[in-house]
């Protein structure tokens, strides 16, 4: 290896010039390859990627690569300016920098968590993979019911990759002025192409599904084609995440564009219990005596967003009314009824089918009757009548 290259490496390291550092490592690898030392070149690149070159700066770790995130943190990266719609002058996307994303916990099934970690790792090492002639997964489709963490997962990935997130809501993009949509899509893709960013296309079905809509005319088809063509033209620097609640509405041409597809489902019993426990302990409520298993049963069939709302309501009630830190089953069910099993403010107009669901989820008649302030036998009769009505 030439001495000048070593000196350049040292200079790059001390100036924290990640681009120069990376260039010099690549140059050394190339020279080794040219000399017939392919193994040494591969080893060097592997060591480089594996160590991720973390430099300690006064106690806080700075990620050397991928570079764009580090540059944002040190204000070296030029700001990403969102293009605007010609008619209403509104910005076509929102830029969210990793420093603006908090570290709040996201609960995912272990299988999904592992898959996401693998995708992040692959993207972080994309240069190495590409230099070895291997493709990189940089198109992720997140599907699943609302409130199960598609958007939150995209944020978490941006935080972990230390990259700016470009957030586009396709439904609002389309609903504004159809005639402008194609132009707006082009403007968005031009603004991000070639940059190390995450492009989140939320409510993806709102545009992709239009292709087959018999009632819509050529304009919509053109819009969808523009979207697909622009996706194809993106460089591999852009990591694309599309999110949809209606994956069944996406056609084959759309599925083909994504090399990773993940389904974020409603939380199972264990995840619900962990999530409720996490929310409670975060606010200093509850203790080891609380039966989280039971609370988890009560919330069967609900999504994370609903469980969060219920739990926060219960926490607020406990803190405001009782000033205590205890969590009773009744407190929780009361919040549950308020948030999800609404009875139109008038207790006479009970939504019996929802109450049946609560009973099925394990809430006792006694607790329900007390909370609803109706005699237990009356409630029991009404539930039985409902049962007969439904066979
Ligand atoms: N897996 C999860 N772990 C922890 N909290 C979650 C999770 N999923 C959702 N939440 C909570 O619900 C809120 C809404 O979730 P999010 O917007 O990520 O869901 P989504 O699947 O994108 O929903 P939509 O399809 O309606 O856009 C989050 O801000 C968070 O508080």
Task: Verify whether ligand 1 is closer than 6 Å to residue 307 (CB atom).
Answer: no
Q: What is the mean pLDDT of residues 351-356?
A: 73
In a mutational test of the pocket of ligand 1, which residue from 305, 307, 312, 315 has the highest number of ligand atoms less than 8 Å from its CB? 305
Joined tokens for residue 35: 């000399």
Tell whether the model's pLDDT for residue 58 goes beyond 50: no
In a mutational test of the pocket of ligand 1, which residue from 111, 147, 154 has the highest number of ligand atoms less than 8 Å from its CB? 147
Task: Verify whether ligand 1 is closer than 6 Å to residue 305 (CB atom).
Answer: yes
Task: Verify whether ligand 1 is closer than 6 Å to residue 147 (CB atom).
Answer: yes
Q: What is the mean pLDDT of residues 294-318?
A: 89
Task: Verify whether ligand 1 is closer than 6 Å to residue 108 (CB atom).
Answer: yes
Task: Verify whether ligand 1 is closer than 6 Å to residue 107 (CB atom).
Answer: yes
In this predicted structure, what is the pLDDT of residue 19? Answer: 63
Comparison of pLDDT for 216 and 57, the residue scoring more: 216
Tell whether the model's pLDDT for residue 57 goes beyond 60: no
Strands laid side by side in the 198-202 sheet:
94-96, 165-169, 198-202, 239-244, 139-143, 260-263
In a mutational test of the pocket of ligand 1, which residue from 152, 158, 262, 271 has the highest number of ligand atoms less than 8 Å from its CB? 152
CA 292 to ligand 1 center in whole angstroms: 21
Comparison of pLDDT for 93 and 358, the residue scoring more: 93
Task: Verify whether ligand 1 is closer than 6 Å to residue 146 (CB atom).
Answer: yes
Task: Verify whether ligand 1 is closer than 6 Å to residue 149 (CB atom).
Answer: yes
CA 146 to ligand 1 center in whole angstroms: 7
Q: What is the mean pLDDT of residues 122-150?
A: 91
The Cα–Cα gap between 77 and 196 comes to 10
Neighbours of 370 (CB within 10 A): 15
Tell whether the model's pLDDT for residue 70 goes beyond 60: no
In this predicted structure, what is the pLDDT of residue 47? Answer: 67
User: What sign results for the dihedral spanned by CA atoms 251, 257, 259, 261?
Assistant: negative
Cα separation of the two ends of the chain: 82
Q: Whose C-alpha lies nearest to ligand 1, atom 29?
A: 152
Q: DSSP letter string over 298-358?
A: HTTT--HHHHHHHHHHHHHHIIIII------HHHHHHHHHHHTS--TT-TTS--HHHHHHH
Hey, what CATH topology would domain 94-263 get?
A: Rossmann fold (3.40.50)
pLDDT band at 63 (very low <50, low <70, confident <90, very high): very low
Task: Verify whether ligand 1 is closer than 6 Å to residue 152 (CB atom).
Answer: yes
- Tell me the per-residue pLDDT of 336-351, one tens digit each, with 9 for 90 and over: 877 765 544 444 456 6
Task: Verify whether ligand 1 is closer than 6 Å to residue 148 (CB atom).
Answer: yes
pLDDT band at 140 (very low <50, low <70, confident <90, very high): very high
Q: What is the pTM of this model?
A: 0.73
| Helix (H/G/I), strand (E/B), else coil: 169 | strand
CA 107 to ligand 1 center in whole angstroms: 10
Joined tokens for residue 145: 């019911």
Q: What is the mean pLDDT of residues 167-193?
A: 84
pLDDT band at 71 (very low <50, low <70, confident <90, very high): very low
Is domain 269-389 annotated with CATH 1.10.8.60? yes
Domain ranges of the chain: 1-50, 94-263, 269-389
In this predicted structure, what is the pLDDT of residue 210? Answer: 60
- For the chain, percent of residues with pLDDT exceeding 90: 30
Comparison of pLDDT for 163 and 287, the residue scoring more: 163
């Amino acid at each position: 290896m030439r001495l000048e290259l070593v000196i350049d490496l040292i200079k790059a390291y001390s100036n924290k010039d990640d681009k120069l550092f990376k260039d010099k490592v690549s140059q050394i690898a190339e020279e080794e390859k040219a000399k017939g030392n392919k193994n040494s070149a591969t080893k060097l690149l592997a060591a480089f990627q594996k160590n991720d070159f973390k430099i300690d700066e006064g106690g806080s770790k700075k990620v050397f690569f991928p570079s764009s995130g580090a540059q944002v943190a040190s204000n070296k990266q030029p700001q990403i300016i969102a293009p605007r719609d010609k008619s209403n002058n509104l910005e076509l996307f929102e830029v969210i920098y990793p420093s603006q994303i908090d570290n709040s916990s996201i609960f995912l099934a272990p299988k999904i968590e592992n898959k996401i970690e693998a995708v992040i790792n692959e993207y972080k090492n994309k240069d190495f993979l590409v230099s070895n002639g291997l493709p990189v997964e940089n198109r992720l489709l997140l599907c699943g019911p609302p409130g199960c963490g598609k958007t939150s997962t995209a944020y978490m990935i941006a935080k972990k990759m230390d990259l700016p997130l470009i957030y586009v809501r396709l439904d609002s993009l389309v609903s504004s002025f159809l005639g402008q949509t194609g132009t707006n899509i082009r403007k968005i893709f031009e603004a991000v192409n070639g940059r190390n960013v995450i492009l989140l296309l939320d409510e993806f079905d709102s545009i992709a599904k239009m292709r087959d809509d018999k009632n819509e005319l050529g304009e919509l088809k053109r819009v969808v084609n523009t979207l697909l063509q622009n996706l194809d033209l993106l460089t591999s620097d852009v990591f694309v995440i599309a999110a949809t609640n209606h994956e069944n509405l996406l056609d084959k041409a759309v599925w083909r564009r994504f090399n990773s597809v993940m389904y974020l489902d409603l939380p199972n019993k264990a995840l619900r219990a962990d999530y409720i426990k996490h929310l409670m302990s975060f606010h200093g409520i509850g203790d080891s005596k609380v039966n989280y298993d039971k609370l988890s049963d009560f919330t069967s069939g609900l999504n994370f967003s609903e469980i969060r709302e219920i739990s926060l309501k219960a926490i607020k009630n406990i803190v405001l009314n009782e000033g205590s830190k205890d969590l009773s089953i009744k407190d929780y069910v009361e919040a549950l009824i308020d948030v999800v099993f609404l009875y139109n403010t008038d207790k006479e107009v009970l939504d019996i089918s929802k109450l049946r669901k609560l009973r099925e989820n394990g809430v006792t008649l006694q607790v329900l009757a007390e909370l609803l302030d109706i005699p237990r036998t009356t409630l029991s009769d009404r539930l039985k009548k409902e049962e007969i009505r439904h066979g």
